[in-house]
Amino acid sequence: MWISPKKEGVSVAAGIMLSEMAEMKMTLRELVSYMIKHHPIMAEKLKNAKTVLEQPSMIFYPGTVSKPHYNGAILAGEAAGHTVAATGAGIHWSMVGGEHAATAVANALEKDDVSEAALSEGDRLVKEEIGEYLELGVKMRAKTFDVKGREMLIEGLKASEAARKMFLEMLSGKARFTETARFW
C-alpha cells in the first residue's frame, strides 16, 4: 500500500498478486477501502478524507511484450510491459519507453514510413537503454513469486546489512537495479 501526494489530495494504491487477492477473497477496491479504514497509519492520516475518484486497475508486469511495434502503431509504457517486474512500479521505465516510441514515430513520420520495420527503432532503443533492467526484473520476480521465495528474500535481508542497504537503495532509486539483482 502507498499514498502519493497530489496537488489537491492524495492517491492511495495497493500492490498485490492476483493469487493473494483470491486468497483474501477481496477485490482491489475492497482492499484499498479496508486499508484506508483499518491500517494503523493510513486510517489516521486519511480519517477526514473524501473519495473523489475510484479507479482500480492492474499493472501488467511479466516482462516486455514480444512485439511492441506494428504497421502504423507502436506500444510503450505499461502496454509494452515497461514496468519493474520485481516491484510492480513503472513510471520511470514507462517514460523511457514513451520517449523512445516518440523518437521512433517522429523519425518514421519524417521519412513518411510508418511500417513495422521503421517503428521497430523504438523497441531497439528501449532494449539498449533498459533491456537489461527489464530482464533482471522478470528474473527477480520469478524468485519471489511464491511465499517460499519471498521468505528467502526476507531472511537474506535480515541476515545481511549490506543486502538490506543495497535493496533499500535500489527501491529509492539510489542504486542501480542491475547491481542489486546481482548482489541478491
Q: Which residues contact 28 (CB under 8 A, 6 or more apart)?
A: 14, 16, 21, 56, 57, 58
Instruction: For residues 119 and 151, state if they share a domain.
Output: no
The pLDDT value recorded for residue 99 is 95
Its domain, for residue 114, covers 59-143
Q: Is the same domain home to 138 and 158?
A: no
Would you state the cell numbers that stand for residue 147, as one nine-digit string? 511465499
- Under DSSP, the state recorded for 80 is G
- Shared domain for 66 and 129, answered yes or no, is yes
| CA distance readout (Å), 25 to 35, 87, 88 | 15, 22, 21
Domain contains 154: yes
Domain count, the chain: 3
Query: pLDDT value at position 172?
Result: 58
132 and 82 within one domain:
yes
Calpha distance 117→183 (Å, rounded): 38
Predicted confidence at residue 153, as pLDDT, reads: 73
Q: Kindly state whether residues 157 and 125 are assigned to the same domain.
A: no
One domain, residues 163 and 135: no
Q: Any idea what DSSP says for residue 39?
A: S
In a domain, 52, yes or no: no
User: What pLDDT shows up at residue 135?
Assistant: 77
Each residue's pLDDT tens digit, 87-134: 666 778 889 999 999 999 999 999 999 999 999 999 999 999 888 878
- Residue located via cell numbers 505499461: 78
Segment 162-184, tens digit of pLDDT: 777 777 766 655 655 555 555 44
Same domain, 94 and 40: no
Considering the domain architecture, whether residues 110 and 175 belong to the same structural domain is answered as no
User: In the chain, what percentage of residues exceed pLDDT 90?
Assistant: 21
Domain-located, residue 54: no
Per-residue pLDDT at 93? 83
Lowest mean pLDDT among 20-29, 57-66, 172-181: 172-181
Same structural domain, 168 and 116: no
Between 16 and 171, name the one with better pLDDT.
Answer: 16
How do residues 129-152 score in pLDDT, each as one tens digit?
Answer: 888 878 777 777 766 666 677 777
* Per-residue pLDDT, 61: 56
